[in-house]
Amino acid sequence: MDRRQAIKKLAAGTAIASGGSLVLSSRDVAYAMSAPGTGLIGAPGSGDVQHITTWNNPNGTVTLSDTNNPSCSPGAGELERSYSWRINSFNIKGGRTWKFFIRNASDTATIREGAGGFSDPNTTHNTVVLRKTNKPGKLKPLDNGDSYSIEMMVTWKCSEAASSLRYQYRFSATYPNPPTVQFIA
pLDDT digits (tens, 9 = 90+) for 76-97: 999 999 999 999 999 998 877 8
- Please state the domain extents for the chain: 34-183
Kind and range of the H or E element at 40? strand 40-41
Within 10 Å of residue 71's Cβ, how many Cβ atoms?
15
d(CA 125, CA 65): 9
Show Cβ contacts of residue 114 under 8 Å, excluding neighbours closer than 6 positions. Answer: 87, 99, 100
With beta carbons less than 8 A apart as the criterion, state whether 127 and 81 touch.
Answer: no
Which residues does the chain have with pLDDT short of 70?
Answer: 1-34
